[in-house]
Structure 1
Amino acid sequence: PEALEVMNYNTGKMQKNNDTRANAQYASFNGLVWKKGIDETWLDNGKDVDPDKIVIRYADILLIYAEAKIELNQIDQSVLDAINMVRSRAYGVDKAATDQYPAVKETDQSKLRKIVRLERRMEFAYEGLRYMDLVRWKLASKALSNKSYGLLYPASLLIENVTSKGGWFWPSTPKIDEDGIPDFTEMEKAGQITVLSQRLWDDRQYLWPIPTKEILINKNLKQNPGY
């Protein structure tokens, strides 16, 4: 919040920083500015060209395969290879160079399940897959029933309670439970972050409603619970 100006390296001049809520009220609410699926040419064309539409990525194929084999408890080298192909690519090294990236060597089903779920969370951040992952794993009732948090506002409050004390962009690291769900309540109680919304989840959402028209056509169909 103290960086009211930033260097534009294309012009060599300082300019107003619109990525901080100290200047723009509706700038990033969590201190992160996403840039995924675009490159510098997106800026050159005035942000008028839509990025390529991703239907499915090869990394998704690999992690789908790994997850399926783990759930079947058919864990073999191919499962580790699938996860490590994704990890090694992120580090820009060959999969065989296991000393140059955090290669997965675990073969326990329970531990591997957690590894592949965390890998999906990191690999596909901001790609629209997280919601359906949580539904498939039956974790939505936990992950989507808590509060949504953001940086303190106005900026003076953020500076006083967080950045002046060396914290950024979150004051500290949240506790992560066995399902990979973070707990920010300690920061909230300390007045270091603000509540943006209270999310609500109803377990009926694990299944979608069957359209009324289909039920009227077929008397053997029964509506899913809760609808």
Structure 2
Amino acid sequence: MKKLIYPLLLVTTAFSSCQKFLEENPKSIMVEGNFYKTEADADAAITAAYDVLNNQWDIYFRGIYLLAELPTDNAECGQGVANSNIFALKDYTFGPVNDRIYTLYPALYKGIANANTAIDKIPGIAFNDTKKNRLLGEARFIRALLYFNLVRLFGDVPLIVHQTTSLNNVNVPRTATAEVYKQIISDLEFGEQNLDAVNSNANLGRATKASATGLLAKVYLTLRDFPKARDKAKAALDITGYGLLDSYFDIFTPQNRFNKEVLFSVQCKGNTGSGNGFGLALYLPRATIALPGGGTVGGNSADVPTQEFYDSFQPGDLRRDRTFFTQYDAGAGLAKFRPHWFKYFDPAAITTLGEGTLNYHVIRYADMLLTYGEALNEISGPTTEAFEAVNKVRRRAYGKPTATANAQTDLAGLDQQAFRDAILNERRWEFGFEDQRWFDLVRTGKLVSTLKAKGNKMIQDYHILFPIPQRERDVNKSLTQNTGYPQ
């Protein structure tokens, strides 16, 4: 009998020891139970929310580009495009099964999820209330920005404003667009009250009051609430510390990536060896620019502007040669090529194309001037003040002092419709490769007519919204589909 019991005791003891060995010690690993306890944890939660924005492919840099620049008259598929889903976006033959639409949609919700976690958890951490509210303002700004993208691209979308803690509440139905906008406005108003007024060396790259007010102006312009768009644009313009740079070229130079014109930008950290910078490969010329050590720059010529966009710039408009380039010398001789995007080119990353150091600008001072001019025109026609707001942008574009009237560059004598059209053109020239064109065309009701006039035979009225990705509907059975797409 002893011989039977002894081995059993050994097995029992070993199993008990094994259980203790396999038990996780939450004091030594990061889990929710021991996180969100300190001020440093709150900072980390906000960093996680910002981090989703800084991804070379999913949202900014390319994800938004493929839906907001490529399907317009600004861009086309270059020789480096091999994905049929990308051609479909350009041709307006896309449907709910499209891997590029699917890449962007869940990425936006991932960013919202990180922001929601910060918003839910930070209030329970004991530290300075002023800083706590500032961090919450940053999280709510990020959430508002991502929902603003979602609601403009897809219309009604699930509105999720708290951390998801159970699989029982993941199948959220679509929320009416008006309700989504109410949340966006609420988040941004909180930001206006609690964010730092401007960026300083201590908070470079973070959202500020100017970011929230500027985004509110764009939200109200999209909603066609022109008095509020006017007021918010004017408020953003009046915040001390911001203004137009003298040179359009200087907005996008690596050494000047933090400048007074930027109300909010997505930060890049290039030259780290981590591929966490602004990716250049897809929009640089393919096997064309020679390198001093032999070989050529590893561009792919995938994302390229249309020749029509390049040719649309008026003589003397300096923005053309900052938005595009048609030749470049990397130290081994001048190479010439068809127009390619140039605005975010970083010469220091010419051999490490994933390491660009420029930031991606989301809201600029020039945007506020053009928003202000547009809102004034919609309210009461082209007033002197509306003309002046737009003409400041135009003067800079032609290398003239922005505060001095100039008969060669200034718009004058236009009626309301002509001025409306002029502003839309101005936005096209000012924000090329900043992924605003599709939003501007949809917002002004010009998407379908503009593209049809330029030869697109497939675009339909329902294309003012993209389809809800089919993979999302397969998982979440409560999601309906936008009109015009397979139901």
TM range (shorter): 0.5 to 0.7
- Structure 1 residue 91, shift from structure 2 partner: 2.3
Question: What corresponds to 1:150 in structure 2?
Answer: none
SS at match of 2:361: coil
Cα distance in structure 2, aligned partners of 1:40 and 1:126: 18
Question: What corresponds to 2:464 in structure 1?
Answer: 206
SS at match of 2:363: coil
- Structure 1 residue 39, shift from structure 2 partner: 4.9
| Residue correspondence of structure 1 range 16-55 to structure 2 within 5 A | 17=335, 20=337, 31-43=338-350, 46-47=352-353, 48-55=355-362
Structure number with larger C-alpha Rg = 2
Question: What corresponds to 1:174 in structure 2?
Answer: none
- Structure 1 residue 89, shift from structure 2 partner: 1.5
| Residue correspondence of structure 1 range 34-183 to structure 2 within 5 A | 34-43=341-350, 46-47=352-353, 48-99=355-406, 101-145=408-452
Distance 1:85 1:204, change over 3 A: same
Moved more, 126-135 or 198-207: 198-207
Instruction: Report if the CA contact (8 A) 1:141-1:203 is conserved.
Output: yes
- Structure 1 residue 133, shift from structure 2 partner: 1.1
Give a deviation string over 1:71-115, Cα, whole Å, max 9, x none.
223432221111011111122322343337411123410111111
Give a deviation string over 1:183-225, Cα, whole Å, max 9, x none.
7xxxxxxxxxxxxxx66222122245689799959xxxx9754
Structure showing the higher helix proportion among its residues: 2
Distance 1:37 1:110, change over 3 A: same
- Structure 1 residue 139, shift from structure 2 partner: 1.7
**Number of aligned residues:** 157
Moved more, 105-114 or 34-43: 34-43
- Scaled by the length of structure 2, the TM-score of the pair is 0.28
Give a deviation string over 1:113-137, Cα, whole Å, max 9, x none.
1111111111111211111111112
The gaps in structure 2 that reach 5 residues or longer are 1-287, 291-326
Instruction: Report if the CA contact (8 A) 2:370-2:427 is conserved.
Output: yes
Cα distance in structure 2, aligned partners of 1:65 and 1:77: 12
Query: More relative contact order in 1 or in 2 (CA 8 Å, sep 6+)?
Result: 2
Instruction: Report if the CA contact (8 A) 1:91-1:101 is conserved.
Output: no
The gaps in structure 1 that reach 5 residues or longer are 21-30, 146-180, 184-197
SS at match of 1:72: helix
Q: Percent identity?
A: 30
1:14 and 2:333 are equivalent in the alignment: yes
RMSD (Å), alpha carbons: 3.7
Instruction: Report if the CA contact (8 A) 1:140-1:201 is conserved.
Output: no
Question: What corresponds to 1:178 in structure 2?
Answer: none
- Scaled by the length of structure 1, the TM-score of the pair is 0.54
SS at match of 2:392: helix
One-letter amino acid of the counterpart of residue 397, structure 2: A
Question: What corresponds to 2:200 in structure 1?
Answer: none
One-letter amino acid of the counterpart of residue 462, structure 2: R
